[in-house]
Amino acid sequence: MKFSELTEYFEEMEATSSRLALIDILSELFIKTPEGEIDKIVYLIQGRLAPFFVPLEIGMAEKSVAKSIASAYQVSTEEVTGGFNKLGDMGLAAQQQAQKSKPKVESLTVDEVFIILEEIAKTSGEGTVEKRQNLLSNLLKRMDPLSAKHLVRIPLGNTRLGIGDPTVLDAMSLAKLGDKSKRKPLEEAYNRTSDMGLIAKTLWEKGLSGVEKLEVRVGSPIRSELCERLPSPDKIIEKMGEVDAQYKYDGFRVQIHKTQDEVRMFSRNLEEMTHMFPELSEATKKQIKAKSVILDSEALAYNPESDEFLPFQETTKRRRKHGIEEMAEKLPLKAFVFDILYLDGKSLINNPLRERMETLKRVLPEDDVLIRTKNQTIKDPKILATLLEDAISKGLEGLVVKKLESPYEAGARNFNWVKLKRHSAGELNDTLDCVILGYITGKGKRTAFGAGALLVGVYDKKSDEFVTVSKIGTGLTDEEWREIHKRADKISLDHKPARVNSNIVPSVWIKPEIVIEILADEITRSPVHTAGRTETGTGYALRFPRLVSFRGLDKKAEDATTVEELIEMYRQQGR
CATH code (residue 249): 3.30.470.30
**Domain boundary residue, one of 363, 388, 421:** 421
Same domain, 260 and 310: yes
- How far, in Å, CA of 502 to CA of 427, rounded? 27
Question: Do 483 and 414 share a structural domain?
Answer: no
Shared-domain flag, residues 382 and 518 = no
360/362 Cα distance (integer angstroms): 5
CA pair distance 363, 344, nearest whole angstrom:
11
Say whether both 292 and 344 belong to one domain: yes
* Distance in angstroms (rounded) separating the CA atoms of residues 442 and 126: 45
Do 447 and 539 belong to one domain? yes
Indicate if 257 and 404 belong to the same structural domain.
Answer: yes
For residue 280, how many other CB atoms are within 10 A of its CB?
24
Query: What distance in Å separates the CA atoms of residue 149 and residue 172, rounded to the nearest whole number?
Result: 26
CA angle 424/425/426 to nearest 5° reads 115
Would residue 444 count as lying in a domain? yes
Whether 467 and 559 map to the same domain: the answer is yes
Shared-domain flag, residues 233 and 272 = yes
**Co-location of 412 and 440 in the same domain:** no
* Assigned domain for 21 exists: no
Q: Provide the residue-wise pLDDT of the chain in tens; the chain has 575 residues.
A: 999 999 999 999 998 888 899 999 999 999 999 999 999 999 999 888 999 898 888 878 899 999 999 999 999 999 999 999 888 889 999 999 999 988 788 889 999 999 999 999 998 888 889 999 999 999 999 999 999 999 999 988 888 787 889 999 999 999 999 998 889 999 999 999 999 999 999 999 999 999 999 999 999 999 999 888 887 899 899 999 999 999 988 888 999 999 988 999 999 888 888 988 999 999 999 999 899 999 999 998 877 666 667 777 777 777 777 778 877 787 888 999 999 999 999 999 999 999 999 999 999 988 889 999 988 999 999 999 989 888 877 777 789 999 999 999 999 888 999 988 865 333 456 789 999 999 887 555 445 555 578 899 999 988 999 999 998 876 667 777 777 777 777 888 888 999 999 999 998 899 998 898 888 878 888 888 999 998 888 899 988 888 877 776 667 889 899 999 999 888 877 55
65 inside domain: no
- How many residues comprise the chain? 575
Domain assignment present for 107: no
The residues that are catalytic are: 248
Round to whole Å and give the CA distance between 476 and 170. 38
Q: According to the model, what pLDDT value does residue 180 have?
A: 86
495 exposed, middle or buried (CB, 10 Å; 0-12, 13-18, 19+)?
exposed
C-alpha 158: how far from chain center: 15
Residue 149: the pLDDT is: 95
For residues 406 and 483, state if they share a domain: no
Q: Is residue 413 part of a domain?
A: yes
∠ CA 102-108-111, nearest 5°, is 150
pLDDT of residue 38: 97
The domain tally of the chain equals: 2
pLDDT for the residue 47:
86
User: What pLDDT score does 448 carry?
Assistant: 53
437 and 415 share one domain: no
**Per-residue confidence (pLDDT) for residue 125, from 0 to 100:** 84
417 and 309 part of one domain: yes
91 falls within a domain: no
pLDDT at site 480: 75
- How many helices (H) and strands (E) the chain has is answered by 20, 22
Residue 75 maps to a domain: no
What CATH code is carried by the domain that includes residue 517? 2.40.50.140
Among 372, 396, 421, which residue terminates a domain?
Answer: 421
Pairing mode, if any, of strands 453-460 and 465-472? antiparallel
The boundaries of the domain holding residue 529 are 432-572
**pLDDT given at position 489:** 78
The three-class DSSP label of residue 240 is helix
What are the two backbone dihedrals, phi and then psi, of residue 265, each rounded to the nearest 5 degrees? -130, 145
Q: How far apart are CA 517 and CA 355, in angstroms?
A: 35
CA distance 501 to 512: 11
Which has the closest alpha carbon to 186: 164, 169, 207? 169
The domain boundary residue, chosen from 421, 444, 463: 421
Question: What pLDDT sits at residue 398?
Answer: 86
Diameter over CA atoms, the chain: 76
* pLDDT value of residue 424: 37
440-469 core/surface letters (b: 16 or more CB in 10 A; e: else): bebeeebeebbbbbbbbbbbbeeebbbbbb
Instruction: Tell me 175's DSSP state.
Output: I
Strands 413-421 and 515-519: unpaired
How far is residue 96 CA from its own chain's centroid?
33
By the 8 A CB rule, do 531 and 460 touch?
yes
447 domain-assigned: yes
